[in-house]
């Protein structure tokens, strides 16, 4: 498990360790220095530039946001069926979280 206190730090750690290190990324939408959307977009750009497979990214937020708008923005970065993007609202359903983690075991 790798932790970051903001989006900028998360992006730096992602780039330093490379795509093969991470099974998935959980990121809060609102973070200091760089929000989750921006850091995720930069992760996708890094993956594209380095010809890496996309890591699944899960956005988490306690506030309402337009999930369709988020999804459509990331669909432009590749095949729409392979965006690897999911939005979760807080409080996160524990059973759903367990299923997500089990997917990567």
Per the domain annotation, does 2 fall within a domain? no
Residue 80 has pLDDT above 50, yes or no: no
> Which CATH number goes with the domain that contains 92?
3.40.50.2300
State the total domains in the chain.
1
- Residue with the bigger pLDDT between 65 and 84: it is 84
The per-residue pLDDT for range 12-50, each reduced to its tens digit, is 999 998 767 888 998 888 888 998 889 999 998 999 899
1: in domain: no
Provide, rounded to the nearest whole percent, the portion of the chain with pLDDT above 90: 23
What are the tens digits of pLDDT across the range 45-68? 999 899 888 888 888 887 656 666
pTM of the model: 0.78
Query: By CB neighbour count within 10 A (0-12 exposed, 13-18 middle, 19+ buried), where does 57 fall?
Result: buried
Q: What is the DSSP string of 1-64?
A: ----SSHHHHHHHHHHH-GGG-SEEEEESS-SSS-HHHHHHHHHHHHHHTTPPPPEEEEEESS-
């Amino acid at each position: 498990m790798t932790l970051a206190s903001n989006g900028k730090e998360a992006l730096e750690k992602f780039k330093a360790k490379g795509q093969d290190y991470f099974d998935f990324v959980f990121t809060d939408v609102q973070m200091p220095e760089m929000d989750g959307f921006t850091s995720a977009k930069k992760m996708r750009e890094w993956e594209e530039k380095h010809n890496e497979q996309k890591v699944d990214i899960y956005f988490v937020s306690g506030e309402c946001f337009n999930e369709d708008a988020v999804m459509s923005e990331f669909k432009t970065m590749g095949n729409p069926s392979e965006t690897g993007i999911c939005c979760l609202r807080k409080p996160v359903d524990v059973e759903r979280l367990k299923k997500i983690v089990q997917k990567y075991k």
